[in-house]
Amino acid sequence: MYKSKILFYLFFIFLCIKGYSQETKIEASFTYKGKKAKDVKYYLVDKDKAYLLPYKESKIQVPDTISTESINILVIHKKNQFHVPNFKYKEAYYLKTYFDNRLINNRVNKEFGGYSKLKYLFRCRYLIEDGLGYVTIVLKNKNKYELIN
């Protein structure tokens, strides 16, 4: 009897702690030339420093200590490095990012066309989609940050 009561209390405490935690988890992916890339790292940018965001089961975790409405995320995958500016992590449905510079079979142009292709012909451009109905185009970022893992 006592064991079951203790188990019940422990379970109740576990539910309370889990309910209190306000950590936001957002599905995040980076599609490189039509294929989902692995080993992508997402950092939270604060001036010259970039703090690694935990990434588990295709989801990034934004800590509950952040109180701002939007955050700046730095995405790094091999030689690809770009910013996700003013990412509204509380409202966004997901964070999908794309890169494709192929002339033939370019899926990014097919899905997100409408922008000037000449403008970005010789530039590394990345597309960001958050499910809120807008697509943001950013350029490759060569700035060096102090990466804190």
Partner 1 sequence: MHTSGTVNGTDASGKPTSTHAQRGVSPADKKYQGGLEKAGYKATAIQVDTYGSDRVNIYTSKGTTTSIKYKNFKKLKE
Phi, psi dihedrals of residue 26, rounded to the nearest 5°: -130, 135
CB of 1: closest distance to partner 1 in angstroms?
Answer: 45
CB of 13: closest distance to partner 1 in angstroms?
Answer: 34
Q: Which two tokens stand for residue 137?
A: 């185009």
If the CB atoms of residues 10 and 132 are measured against partner 1, the closer one turns out to be 132
CB of 75: closest distance to partner 1 in angstroms?
Answer: 11
77 class by beta-carbon count within 10 Å (0-12 exposed, 13-18 middle, 19+ buried): middle
Interacting residues with partner 1 (CB under 8 A): 45, 72, 83, 85, 93-94, 111-115, 129, 131-139, 141, 143
Helix (H), strand (E) at residue 84: strand 80-87
Q: Which two tokens stand for residue 115?
A: 């922008």
If the CB atoms of residues 40 and 108 are measured against partner 1, the closer one turns out to be 108
The one-letter amino acid at 124: C
CB of 128: closest distance to partner 1 in angstroms?
Answer: 9
Distance, in Å, from the CA atom of 34 to the CA atom of 52, rounded to the nearest integer, reads 25
If the CB atoms of residues 40 and 125 are measured against partner 1, the closer one turns out to be 125
If the CB atoms of residues 8 and 115 are measured against partner 1, the closer one turns out to be 115
Distance, in Å, from the CA atom of 141 to the CA atom of 125, rounded to the nearest integer, reads 10
